[in-house]
Structure 1
Amino acid sequence: MVAFHASALDGVARNSALPTPLLLRLLAFERDGDRPPRDALQRAGIPESAVALILAHPNPGSRIDFAMSARAEPAQRARLTDDPSPKVRAALAYGPEVYDPRAKVAPLPDTVCARLLDDPDPSVRTAMLESPHLAPSFVASMATHHRAAARREAVRAWEALSAGERSALLADPDPEVRRAAALQECRRDVHVTAELLRDPKSAAEALRRGLLFRTDAERCVAERTHLAALAENPSLPPDLVERLAVNPDEDVRLAVSLRPELDETRRMGIDFTAGDLDRGEGVRWVRDGLAEPEVLRRAASSAHPLLQRAAAWSPHLPPDLLRLLARVEDPVVENLLGIHHPDAPEEVLMRVFARLGGTFSAWMAETHPRFPREGLAARYADHLDGNYRRLAVRDPAATPELIERLSRDPVVWTRQAAARDPRLPLHRLREALLVPELASSAGANPALPEDEMAAVLDRAGVPA
């Protein structure tokens, strides 16, 4: 198979205008260990006839790709629950790999998860427990499971468990389950915290989150044990907070400066240093409250850079706080707003685009709902930087002549963006199919005629 034919085939596989007969032809492809392109297996809105082909495909790699599709309906993927290959079942259990922080993956039905959790193959059971896509209801249901690993994961749903389920987990025969349960319960029980402090494996986390006896807190300060963790503890007495605020360890002082109860004067009076690249994800009280208006207001209105950054993770910032953070001269805050907030101002998005460049900028420009479109051709078609010339393709007013010109741009990313655009004149689109670095983009162009798509399949050796 010639290299650019394979590239064009990948483009056709993800072409939004690909007719169902050609999709079915692609999905039936199987020769010398080859399998259909992943983009054909992970398309959105796959018709039932295509799903049936995938489920019966002889190459398990094809079924694995479908099992991990973020675009397939959970009910469609769930039909692989009884697949003969444990690798396919493990892929189904773990679920899609998602790289877009704004994307949401619908979980498999609880009944399907329960079957996978009891799968005879241990790799399937492990994948199920490690999946980031489990429904909260299923996580809670594992509290009474016969396997200790499942009960340990159920602890994540602590607040949703009944009092009886919590008590059972705290007295579980497995020590790891008991430890995980105690680390949840210690937030409200000083005796549980005291017990955890005797265990080196749990002492630091218990100091960070547990309800403390004053004597235990004083002993840790005197012994200088896990002070940075202790400095985060919500129950730490005020006088001990003040002692840690002047501790010689920078990490300890920084942890104190992030405590939620401090007023702004006291907070900014602490001698702390925030890392230039620290994105604030370690500020737990903010990260746990990204949907709570009062938490967001306290964090976003602070002058502390890590609290501002922690608030910028939230897609729920109200308009006034979004405007406030958009004025902060902190590139980390801007980057986080550009990634996570659907209403990030255009000027912020453009600054992030200019600063980060490359693949990330392309992703943001193509996926962010507020990224500008109008006027880009006039502003950037002749820009010295090809990364900006690529933006001209986004402009609805860009002419076919401009798109064709940009398809010959010196920068490959700009050429590829133009090759994907349906305004590209047909003669140039046909030429681009034969250019190795443009073939994939041209194959994905929704203006590509059906006979040209079929010709790509023919050249790639896909049987009719």
Structure 2
Amino acid sequence: MVAFHASALDGVARNPALPTPLLLRLVAFDGGGDGPPRHALQRVGLPEPAVAVILAHPNPGARIDFARSARAEPAQRARLADDPSPTVRAALAYGPEWSAPRTTVAPLPDDVCARLLDDPDPSVRTALLDSPHLAPSFVASLATHRDPAARRSAARAWEKLPPDERSALLADPDPEVRRAAALRECRGDARVTAELLRDPKSAAEALRRGLLHRADAERCVAERTHLAALAENPSLPTHLVEQLAVDPDEAVRLAVSLRPELGETRRMTIDFTVGAFDRGDVEWVRDGLADPEVLRRAATSAHPLLRRTAAQSPHLPPDLVRLLARTEDPLVEDLLSVHHPDTPEEVLMRVYARLGGTFSAWMAETHPRFPREGLAARYADHPDGNYRRLAVRDPAATPALVERLSHDPAVWTRQAAVGDPRLPLHRLREALHVPELASSAGANPALPEDEMAAVLNRAGVPA
């Protein structure tokens, strides 16, 4: 029964119809030392009374879960900046560890980040500088900070820094700061690139991105120094590009084949191999995911890695979406379905059938183009339970059909049906006592308030 209670309680914690009094009971719960259910702490639009309870919760795990919430307002999470636990403050400083595709995490206010950067605990300062959620304005402000680690991070905003701050970072007393700055500056300065090539810690990156003297480039090719990185370098002389295009190393030839200046005919004469699951984050395409010209070049290429990178853009125009949808590349279809709001229905259905499981359920629930109408008639009696659960999505599905599917042999289908508000109440109450269905039943917005309260009571949540 303990497992059942925990499962049902988890469902109630994410129930969109959970009344505020029950929510307050949940977020104050200690859970025998485990803290409140995470879904209660990371709900969208938590009311102020619930936020106040979380901020004062005696279990630091509760405060950590809230600090990492991608759904909480930054101003709400920022109130943990003075938390007594450095682990909580570090969780706040780093921010959410994961957010769903097609969503963005709003950064903490700059003044709060500045306070965290001055935190007495080094783990908090490190977490902040490692965070992927910092505002560019804050990153740029670090160029004059007293902490070398902060100044090193400022190099990430190199293009936003004024010339005097760039010069100061290039001459910084800390060697790591100077290296980070030089790796940015070298893209337009061959002298800086030449200096970096003498440093084993920076040579590969400098060869990949730095402006190269012709002699340095020829020497590195002759010595076979980081050739795969060198093959990506935008300033590599044409004769060396042609030489590396027939290099015996397959990784080198693949890198050459991805160069942006190559015409399509020349690109496809290079002998390269791409794996079925190679995602292909090609930098010049990734940097241009909002650039119509870059997207058109990549999406219309015969190179799989260019197409796969282009498929990650939510800005593809309709004709390129249709073109990529016809490539017969499963990975292109997968990436389109994750990133593009106008992915064709037939692609979404192929991805749904191919991947199944949690990903398919997430896509069906969140993708704006995933079909709903007509699914009951098409799939209620399908031999594959992965399809039968789609019938529950149909607005025309009757309570009787939903109840029938709640007894389906496939657990995914049973869970989908039990979470549907059209499920007859007697079956919903019954499902609360079935271990594999209890969580879905608890999350059903049609669950009466007294039943939600009963779940809390049975789990020992104080009134």
TM-score (norm 2): 0.98
Structure 2: which amino acid aligns with 1:153? S
Shift of the alpha carbon at 1:352? 0.8
Q: How many angstroms apart in 1 are the aligned matches of 2:125 and 2:207?
A: 33
2:342 counterpart of 1:343? yes
Which AA in structure 1 matches 2:456?
L
Amino acid at match of 1:194: A
2:42 is the counterpart of 1:42: yes
Q: Structure 1 CA distance, aligned partners of 2:275 and 2:453?
A: 54
Mark the CA change 1:268 to 1:81 in structure 2 (over 3 Å): closer, same or farther: same
**Matched residue pairs, number?**
463
Secondary structure at 1:232 match in 2 = coil
> How many Å separate the matches in 2 of 1:154 and 1:367?
36
Aligned-pair distance for 1:30?
A: 3.0
Deviations along 1:72-95, one digit per CA (max 9) or x if unpaired, are: 111011111101111111111111
Q: Which residue of structure 1 lines up, in the alignment, with residue 295 of structure 2?
A: 296
Structure 1 counterpart of 2:264: 264
> 2:243 aligns to what?
243
The equivalent of 1:54 in structure 2 is 54
Correspondences of 1:60-79 after superposition (within 5 Å): 60-79=60-79
**Distance change (3 Å), C-alpha of 1:31 and 1:290:** closer
1:31 to 1:254, Cα distance in 2 relative to 1, 3 A:
closer
Which runs of structure 2 are paired with 1:209-220 in the superposition (5 Å)? 209-220=209-220
CA distance in 2, matches of 1:278, 1:60: 40
- Separation in 2 of the partners of 1:63 and 1:273? 48
2:313 matched to which residue of 1?
A: 314
> Is 2:392 the counterpart of 1:402?
no
What secondary structure sits across from 2:168 in the alignment?
A: helix
Tell me if the contact between 2:67 and 2:92 (Cα under 8 Å) persists in the aligned partners.
yes
Cα displacement (A) at 1:192: 0.3
Q: Secondary structure at the match of 1:84?
A: coil
SS at match of 1:187: helix
Instruction: Output one character per residue of 1:303-340: Cα deviation in whole Å (capped at 9) or x when no partner.
Output: 11111111111111111111111111111111111111
Distance 2:126 2:34 in 1: 29
Q: Aligned-pair distance for 1:31?
A: 5.9
Moved more, 260-269 or 24-33: 24-33
2:301 partner amino acid:
S
- Could you say what secondary structure the match of 1:438 adopts? helix
Specify the SS of the correspondent of 1:452.
Answer: helix
1:419 aligns with 2:429: no
SS of the residue corresponding to residue 184 of structure 2 reads: helix
* Aligned counterparts, 1:52-131, within 5 A: 52-131=52-131
Which has the larger displacement, 394-403 or 1-10?
A: 1-10
Q: In structure 2, what is the Cα distance between the partners aligned to 1:127 and 1:356?
A: 34
Q: Report sequence identity in percent.
A: 84
Deviation at 1:444, TM superposition (A): 0.4
1 CA distance for matches of 2:342 and 2:433?
Answer: 40
CA offset at residue 7 of structure 1?
Answer: 1.1
CA RMSD of aligned residues (A): 1.1
The 3-state SS of whatever aligns with 1:77 is: helix
**Letter of the 2:172 counterpart:** D
Separation in structure 1 between the aligned mates of residue 3 and residue 353 of structure 2, nearest angstrom = 33
Q: CA contact under 8 A between 2:99 and 2:105: conserved in structure 1?
A: no
The whole-number CA distance in structure 2 between the counterparts of 1:170 and 1:41 is 44
5+ residue gaps, structure 1, are: none
Measure how far apart 1:361 and its partner are: 1.1
| Contact persistence 2:70–2:99 (CA under 8 A) | no
Helix, strand or coil: the match of 1:105? Answer: coil
Alignment correspondent of 1:437 = 436
Look up the match of 2:151. 151
**Residue 205 to residue 31, structure 1, CA distance change in 2 (3 Å):** closer
- Which letter does structure 2 place at the counterpart of 1:435? V
1:359 is aligned to 2:358? yes
The two structures have a TM-score, normalised by structure 1, of 0.98
What is the DSSP-based 3-state SS (H/G/I as helix, E as strand, rest coil) of the residue aligned with 1:256?
A: helix
